[in-house]
Amino acid sequence: MASTEPVEIIDFEVRAFHLLQDSNSLRAGLEVIQEYRINPDIEALSVDGSPVSVQTREVVGFGALAVCSESGSPLGFGVATLRGIVPGAWTLEHAETVREHRGKGIGREVVSLLVDRARFSGGVTISADSTPSNNSFFEGLGFERKQGSSAYSLNLR
């Protein structure tokens, strides 16, 4: 189902990122992500707005922010990072859509943009953890479930 509101997907480089796992703070997280996109010199990100110590300023990944084109209000976001010792292995750190806008294709657009950015940057794979309620979402994007786990992986080549 397509979104009924005009949606703009904005992508940006992530230079320092830490997202606290607080499911009650999605809107706060969206506001912090939006501020980071505007002002990438802030020290780091956290959903609750608390400062996070960061040792590096190099690009560690990409972010995508979905906003309503008319009001500018955030609708969803995602972050993918390149980390670990395996060259070209990306991780989808977080992807979420504001509850009242779920099922409208916004999450698909956000994750698809991040997959494209990872592929364009020379990525080999992108992985994500899923909950049972999101398994069909990842499978619909071509991710394959790793046997016996909640982990999904997508070959980017």
Q: What is the pLDDT of residue 82?
A: 80
Q: 1 lies in a domain?
A: no
Tell me the H-state helices in the chain. 26-38, 106-120, 135-140
Q: 118 lies in a domain?
A: yes
Q: What is the pLDDT of residues 73-107, one digit of tens each?
A: 888 888 888 866 678 899 998 888 888 888 999 99
Q: 126 lies in a domain?
A: yes
Q: What is the pLDDT of residue 4?
A: 64
Whichever domain contains 126, its CATH number is 3.40.630.30
Rounded-to-integer distance, Cα 48 and Cα 16, Å:
16
Q: What is the pLDDT of residue 21?
A: 45
Show the tokens assigned to 8.
């703009």
Q: What is the pLDDT of residue 23?
A: 44
Q: What is the pLDDT of residue 28?
A: 58
What is the number of domains present in the chain? 1
Mean pLDDT by runs of 10 across the 157 residues of the chain is 70 60 52 62 50 52 79 84 80 86 91 92 92 92 93 94
Write out the E strands in 42-131.
61-68, 74-82, 89-97, 125-129
Q: 31 lies in a domain?
A: yes
User: Is 20 exposed, middle or buried (CB count within 10 Å of its CB: 0-12, 13-18, 19+)?
Assistant: middle
Q: 14 lies in a domain?
A: yes
Q: What is the pLDDT of residue 51?
A: 47
* Amino acid in the structure at residue 63: G
Full domain range(s) for residue 107: 7-155
Q: 129 lies in a domain?
A: yes
Q: 99 lies in a domain?
A: yes
Q: What is the pLDDT of residue 61?
A: 76
pTM: 0.76
Q: 2 lies in a domain?
A: no
